[in-house]
Amino acid sequence: MMSVLIALIIGAVVATVAVVVRRRQVVDAPTQKVFAAPTQIDRVDFPAAQQEWLVAVFTSASCHVCADMLAKAQVVASKQVAVLDVEYSENKELHRKYNIEAVPTVVVSDMHGVVHKSFLGPVSATDLWAGVASARDPQLQPLADGHYQDQE
| pLDDT tens column, 39-49 | 999 999 998 87
The pLDDT value recorded for residue 40 is 96
pTM for the full model? 0.71
The more confidently predicted of residues 124 and 23 is: 124
Give the pLDDT band of residue 37 (cuts 50, 70, 90). Answer: very high
Strand, helix or coil for residue 40: strand
Q: 3-class DSSP state for residue 60?
A: coil
Q: What is the Cα–Cα distance from 53 to 131, expressed in whole angstroms?
A: 13
Does the structure show a pLDDT above 60 at 22?
A: yes
The edge-to-edge listing of strands for the beta sheet with 115-120 is 81-87, 53-59, 105-109, 115-120
Architecture (CATH level 2) of domain 43-150: 3-Layer(aba) Sandwich (3.40)
Burial of 24 (0-12, 13-18, 19+ CB in 10 A): exposed
84-139 residue pLDDT tens: 999 999 999 999 999 999 999 999 999 999 999 999 999 999 999 999 998 888 77
Instruction: Give 34's pLDDT tier (boundaries 50, 70, 90).
Output: confident
Greater pLDDT, 52 or 12: 52
Summarize the confidence of residues 52-69 as an average pLDDT.
95
- Which pLDDT value is given to residue 48? 82
pLDDT at 39: 95
Q: What single DSSP character describes residue 134?
A: H
Cross-strand partners of 149: 141
Kindly state the average pLDDT of the residues 78-85.
95
The domain locations on the chain are 43-150
